[in-house]
Structure 1
Amino acid sequence: MYDDGSFDRWLKIVLGVLFGLAAAKMFWHWLTEDVWHWITVDVWGWITEHPWWSALIAVPVALLVVAFVVGLFLPHDFAAEYEEAEEGPLGLTYSINQLAAMTPAGFEQACADLLARDGFLRSRRVGGAGDLGADVVAWDPSGNKIVLQCKQYARPVGSTETQTFNGTARPEHGADTAIIVGLSGFTTPASHFAIRHNITLIGREALETWAGGQHLYSVIPGQRFAA
């Protein structure tokens, strides 16, 4: 008769079941006889003979069990922890001297980090060759896009730079809020142009306040941060 190997397969299954039943029977016997005897006779006998030592051991064990159960079933807001982690370097501050000592790229990154600290989303430095005036971009929780141009000049930012940024911030980058950060402030013509074209300027004093720990929207006028 032709044997396709199915008999051996069924034999292995039957032997496996019998072995499993035998092992389960041995485990049950050990659990009900040896372990139960050890708990009810040896352990209980030691507890009754040493009540004070038993209490000293039982109290911390009970506290650990309670702490484990509470931690297991207590609601835990992992989403809030994730959002907090996403907020970036909480408590980050810079002094004006620190900002002035940075490289231009470092100054742009510092502005990106300050936005992240304040809870802006996807804050990142994009400045470099061909950036078309955008050094840092971010979004607030309401979905408003923030575009920063960061000027670490030793002189005030002039009207020419402000006009150039105005030509790209919204048409090219889709900024809802266009901001120029000027370490040394702005000239009067630049300030007047910015007012006419709704460009937000952060001069030295405002930058010092922002970098010192204040939220960006508490520094610049007419903005509200919807958390």
Structure 2
Amino acid sequence: MAAAVAGAAGALLWWLWRTDRLHRTGDRRWREADAVRAGHLSLAEVDALSWQEFERYVAGLCRRDGCRDVVVTGGSGDLAADVTATLPDGRRLVVQCKHYAPHRYVPSGDMQKFLGTAWLHHRADVAVFAATCPFSRAALDLAADHRILAVHRDLLGLWNTGTPLTALLPLNGAGQGDAAHRRRWRETYGRR
């Protein structure tokens, strides 16, 4: 009888512990998702994310902006589509994400790879290249010439703080600041 009571008490304790773990994990995931929905991460916190977390963060920003069917497809063999979704107006969205250090630039080669797959392979209606750094002039020109929204660090800051993605679409090729802005940026984020 004592063994049965001890066994039942042990099972009850295990069940309580396991339930607590599940609730804490669920709460942590809910808080992370809520932070994404509300855009609560600073750009410094976005910089601290891993590339996988950055892709999930961008997917969360898409969800926050009303996108449906948001899927993170990033990884080896994704053919330059890290996030796919349907915009609120029904257009197919394809996003390439690059989580580079703030002092780097997205080279034109990365833009060329995305350009080669976004429209033909992924059948995008809207193509977005989101990066945690600026784009090289050649990459930015390619994006503007081929209707790819280049979400460089400045536009990422706007998107991150609540500006909807659809409001950023007309800004393609804009931003990255004037020469004085870029000089201050290099002094702040330059190689150390």
Does the TM-score normalized on the shorter chain lie above 0.5? yes
The TM-score with structure 2 as length reference comes to: 0.67
Corresponding residue for residue 131 of structure 1? 78
Structure having greater relative contact order (Cα 8 Å, sep ≥ 6): 2
Alpha-carbon contact 1:186-1:203 (below 8 Å) kept: yes
| 1:216 aligns to 2:165 (yes or no) | yes
2:116 to 164, 167, 182: 167
| 2: CA distance, partners of 1:93 / 1:212 | 8
Corresponding residue for residue 145 of structure 1? 92
**Structure 2: which 5+ residue stretches go unaligned?**
1-32, 173-192
Corresponding residue for residue 130 of structure 2? 181
C-alpha displacement of 1:219:
2.4
Instruction: Give deviations 1:172-198, integer Å, cap 9, x for gaps.
Output: 111101110111110001111111111
Alpha-carbon contact 1:153-1:184 (below 8 Å) kept: yes
C-alpha spacing 1:209/1:95, structure 2 compared with 1 (3 Å): same
Larger radius of gyration: 1
| 1: CA distance, partners of 2:85 / 2:161 | 20
C-alpha displacement of 1:143:
1.3
Q: How many residues align?
A: 136
| 1:196 aligns to 2:145 (yes or no) | yes
The TM-score with structure 1 as length reference comes to: 0.57
2:40 to 93, 110, 115: 93
Corresponding residue for residue 118 of structure 1? 65
Alpha-carbon contact 1:202-1:220 (below 8 Å) kept: no
| 2: CA distance, partners of 1:210 / 1:93 | 11
**Structure 1 runs, 4 residues or longer, greater than 4 Å off:** none
**RMSD across aligned C-alpha pairs, in angstroms?**
1.7
| 2: CA distance, partners of 1:99 / 1:124 | 20
**Structure 1: which 5+ residue stretches go unaligned?**
1-87
1:156 to 77, 85, 105: 105
